[in-house]
Chains A and B, each alone.
Chain A
């Protein structure tokens, strides 16, 4: 492949997982270039890569990877900031000036003397970016920097990247699947497929170009493509609204959810805090999930979504209030089996192969040796991970890890599945796959409770959504009503359809509303 990037450009790299985006970015940064055979030439700043001095390669090219935690090296924020400048051998006074200035630019002053372990995920990634900027690079390479962040932290990070590009003229190459914000601001969209560049166009043209795959488009352009629009595709909410404005539409119709009998899990007036002198995480919270339904719990960072799941799973105990599972008090007797899929599924793996890990579950569920092996193979087949059974769990991609973890949990024959941020950091294809899996679980009669930030997924897969704020449920409704009722904390599709197509909250709703005319 061949391509070049001009100074000060913002280039968005997109492509399905395995298309070679990360490899391409890492090749540009000599220190971390993957081993292997390489042909061709990489030229940086008008010179061949080999002519670039070691110091220049370190300082002129900055790299931020997706792993938020593992990129941190030191134990305090200011030392992390100083790391790169110390490597360059700068005198103490110069380092102090640089870290002070960078901390101010990124709004890290309040965190300056804090321990890195005490920061939130968003703060950690912002620190990772800031510590790269201390070396004053002129090119910034970002490898899915928001993959492990919640949407609010992701927006903050992306706006910082945009500022660096716009205000300081820093050349940015970013690969990212959260494209709604970045797409319209990018100077060029580079689309990779199987190790080749298939598209190299400015965003407006790229959005209507067939070579750009569907998942890489912003929501606005996806709707445009699904409706078979012609001409220049909309890439922002406003553009999509004017595209829809002159269409004749019917209001979106949401069938009433079928009434189910008893709630599988119910929580009554629960209060919870982690320590005696901490604040209440949950206060007077009441919540229930019907048997065989999918319920999404939404809410900001620290609203208590994960804590609520942990309480239902029996990992944490509330200091006041009741937890009922299948109508029975869960403290005395676990009437229904609950399992919890953690935010990072790899926390569940204990052995060096997926197969052994699944077998552990089968044994715990009381299967004998042969019955256990049969059960493992059957579950793996259902989830489509038979080919992965003999791989090391850590060698799987994020989506594959999640499936393997889910298989491990399903072998325990759970009645209630609790999923913590199941679509975090996933690209379009993996998200679709997760939504399909959730639907399959529902079809099997399992009760699913999801804690998520992802409004799009919640709108697509749930029967009921609940908004958690200040420790209790503020509103709870079927997704159609839920997301039309909320003006800001809602799906991008609902933003687009507001006032044009009443009640539309998913792109299916919009497409159907237009097509029916």
Chain B
């Protein structure tokens, strides 16, 4: 597990609740402060784990700008008219709402990337495996089969290429060659599945009372993060009901006054969202060169220059 981020070492239960909370807030909110916080910390986490490039930033900014500019073309609500386009009003409120939407979309994309990084197949299986042990077997079986199919396909293609039976002279020939291999591959998989079924039966798939084992442990860090998530969720729920963080764009921009509840909501959300980055920075602090770090391109470059 060389490229494992610190955050993904948390228990699957903690991780799934954390992602559920942060993604829900990010997607549901119409509050630009929450959306901005979400974008800030999701971008920070991406920078700390997979790294970000100038190209990546510019593409993302262009994407966000596009969303922000598209909204006023389609939505003409709002009281502050900036100018008319084709006899239709383009309003300031609509532009601001577009900007908010771009924050939401971008941060959702980034959090989903983080989710894919942290929620490895093992953790997904844990989530479903506890209540449905046989479903866990099914997921795991599928996850094993996919790379195996890919390898077999490559081998069959090589075998035919070496014999000169793989025709890739034209796109049509390539498609028909691939289909031919694929149909043979299906036969091969079915043939092999007899052995797999035997192996499962021999090891008691048919017995009643199957359990699902996990190698995950609930540690103090899990309790801390879980407590934080619950606190933030309570604050967010309370303020959304009491409209403490209410923010409306139409017809004119308006927002509630900054009270204790509002501050608590923003603060606790920020704290929750910063957890992955915080763990990433602090966990490896004592280790000057970790496997994870040393695998990033930057680390490799800096090592070679030293």
Contact = CB atoms under 8 A, between A and B. Distances in A.
Interface stretch (B26-34, B38-46, B148-156): B148-156
Interface residues of B, number: 54
Contact of B140 (A69, A74, A314): A74
B140 A79 contact: yes
Contacts of A54: 204, 206-207
B180 interface: yes
A206 interface: no
A55 B192 contact: no
Interface in B217-235: none
Interface string A55-69: 100110011010101
A483 interface: no
B176 to A, nearest CB: 12
Contacts, number: 168
A32 B160 CA distance: 35
A97 B192 CA distance: 31
A75 B144 contact: yes
Interface in A318-359: 337-340, 342, 344, 346-352
Interface size class of A (residues with CB under 8 A): 35 or more
Nearest to A314: B162
Contact of A95 (B140, B207, B213): B213
B163 A409 contact: yes
Interface in B113-170: 121-122, 125, 133, 137, 140-141, 143-144, 147-148, 151-152, 155-156, 158-165
B162 A73 contact: no
B184 A315 contact: no
B213 A342 contact: no
Most buried by B among A86, A310, A412: A86
B206 A31 contact: yes
Contacts of A96: 213, 215
A394 B187 contact: yes
Interface string B268-283: 0000000000000000
B141 A90 contact: no
Contacts of B209: 89
8 contacts: A70-B196, A73-B140, A83-B200, A86-B210, A99-B213, A342-B158, A344-B155, A349-B184
Given A32-B201, A71-B196, 6 more contacts: A54-B206, A87-B207, A92-B211, A117-B151, A350-B160, A394-B188
Interface of A: 29, 31-32, 54-55, 58-59, 62-63, 65, 67, 69-76, 78-79, 82-92, 95-96, 99, 113, 115-117, 128, 131-132, 135, 310, 313-315, 337-340, 342, 344, 346-352, 360-361, 364, 394, 408-409, 412, 418
